Amino acid sequence: MIKEMLEKLNVPSALDVGGKRAKTVEEWENIRPLVLKMMLESEYGYLPDAPEKIEFRVVEEDNDRYCAGKASYLKLEIVCTLNGKEFSFPSTYVYPRKDGKFKTFVHINFRPDVPDKYMPTEEIIDNGFACASFCYKDVTSDDGDFSNGLAGVVYNGKERTAYSSGKIAMWAWAAMRVMDFLQTRDEVDKDNICVCGHSRLGKTALLTAAVDTRFAAAHSNCAGCSGDSLNRGKGKGNETIGDIIDRFEFWFCENYKNYHGKDNETPFEQHFLSALIAPRRVHIASAAEDVWAGPNLEFLFCVASSEVYELYGKKGFVFEDGDYLKAGKYLNEGNVGFCYRNGRHYFCRDDWHGLMDFMRK
């Protein structure tokens, strides 16, 4: 039933982008750069270049009392030299105070707070994970001003081109710099780092992992349109490409405006991001009352994601027809996971527990 729903939408396949369907891993790896080029040039824009120099300055540290002594806390300034200019932004890092290698989250957050209403830090620590985080607005503002923060360094008064970075690409760049920091930490399990975010920052998390193969997984929480929800098949109350461009065109490259009102005609689909992440892992969280994000199309995003994983001989999205939009069940047995809950647009404890369950597998 569910696969038939997907077939009726005539969803394009990333495996067909090269003009001849990729039937082997080698053929897919050969066309993967074309898929990435399509997503960057059509939707998000090219990310800024890697910094010429990067430095991590610890500005605050608590190795004694944080989380009742269960964790160590670091606040740092990530200082980058880019285009010959210095740019910096703050980040925090909390990890368990015990021996071992810890699976770690890079949380792109709406606020710098630790803990935060979207990030139950002590609960994450109690479950054996570490967590680095930063506030997206500390990188560049969430508006059409391309003169501040990272945007100001990248553009330096120059006009944006059709393929230039939107704000999502800039926030993704910052998440990659946090990954640079984590590569210096002995306690980090470097094979198990997951980038995560909610809403617009869930879109950012998917793009980050699609571009940076050091991330073992991406978690997208209620990201919806232009993130973890298919373009095709939208109904009443679902956000469209036109809706998002009218309000937030600065998140994307200029070229994305070409798809205003053309959700059912895009040559790409959002699950092309999960194709780019494969054979690494993707986890999606969705909420019953978050109609704007299109929970049904978030579920179908996961279904459509399976084909590239299967090419690698791995499980993609494991589900039964009866699991369709059934709240409270973790569908985490494959390399594409999905957690659907009651409630609204929010990054809640239930979402974190679904994600942590996924990362343990």
Which positions are annotated as active-site residues?
Answer: 199, 345
Separation of alpha carbons 146 and 151, rounded Å: 5
Supply 279's token pair: 């054979």
Supply 42's token pair: 């059509």
Separation of alpha carbons 269 and 71, rounded Å: 41
Supply 151's token pair: 């945007």
H or E element: which one contains 168? helix 167-182
Question: What are the residue ranges of helices labelled H in 82-148?
Answer: 121-126
Contacts 24+ apart (CB under 8 A), 110-114: 110/135, 110/136, 110/137, 110/198, 110/201, 111/135, 112/138, 114/73
Q: Which of 27, 91, 97, 21 is nearest to 66 (CA)?
A: 97
Separation of alpha carbons 48 and 275, rounded Å: 22
Other beta carbons less than 10 A from residue 289's beta carbon: 13
Separation of alpha carbons 14 and 111, rounded Å: 35
Separation of alpha carbons 27 and 5, rounded Å: 28
Separation of alpha carbons 171 and 189, rounded Å: 23
**Beta bridge pairs of residue 90:** 77
Supply 95's token pair: 């990890």
**CA dihedral for 110, 347, 174, 129, sign (positive or negative):** positive
Provide the edge-to-edge strand list for the sheet that holds 71-82: 53-62, 71-82, 85-96, 130-135, 102-109, 188-198, 217-221, 281-287, 336-341, 330-331
